[in-house]
Amino acid sequence: MDITSVFFAIVTIVAVVSALLVVTCKNPINSALSLVLTFFCLATYYAMLDAPFMAAIQIIVYAGAIMVLIVFTIMLLNIRVDANKKHTHKVALSTVLGIVTLLLSGLVVTHGKVSQLCANPIPVEAIRQIGHTELIGAVMFTQFLLPFEITSILLLAAMVGAVILAKKKLS
């Protein structure tokens, strides 16, 4: 066993434990912090796959911006945890969905062709010569410009809608 396999195993254990803590913690802040740790583990996977841009985006966007939004929402809503409630139906449903997800993941890994998902894979030589970030930018602003712009318009509409809804509630 080489050092990379040992490091991968350690990151995997940390990711699984932190993902379990996300669902089992009663305090929403502890759950959110466990989710941040899970995001950092995912960023580590991207770095191990030689995708530094995706690792940086994982940390900046998800662990940074999204988690700050979630934590502020939790604090603003002042969510109280009722320890006396029994949630057996939620636990059963979550367990069933988790098992189905694991079975489907195993099916995809054993019988699926992941390479078929990418119609035009970029050669490894081009990635090493040009770099990940430049290739992602070139593809995003040439082949995928229309979906990129549509997404930005949808996000703008969502922000304007959120401001209008918040304005009505304050008035």
Question: pTM of the full predicted structure?
Answer: 0.56
As a whole number, the mean pLDDT across the chain is 78
Which range among 41-50, 140-149, 158-167 shows the weakest confidence by mean pLDDT?
Answer: 158-167
Q: Which two tokens stand for residue 64?
A: 């940074």
Q: What is the CA radius of gyration of the chain?
A: 20
What tokens does 25 get?
A: 């913690």
The least confident of 10-24, 53-67, 89-103, 118-132 is 118-132
Residue 61 has pLDDT above 70, yes or no: yes
Supply the DSSP string of 128-168, one letter for each residue: HHH-HHHHHHHHHTTTTHHHHHHHHHHHHHHHHHHHHHHHH
The residue type at 84: N
CATH code of 1-82, in short, is: 1.20.120.1200
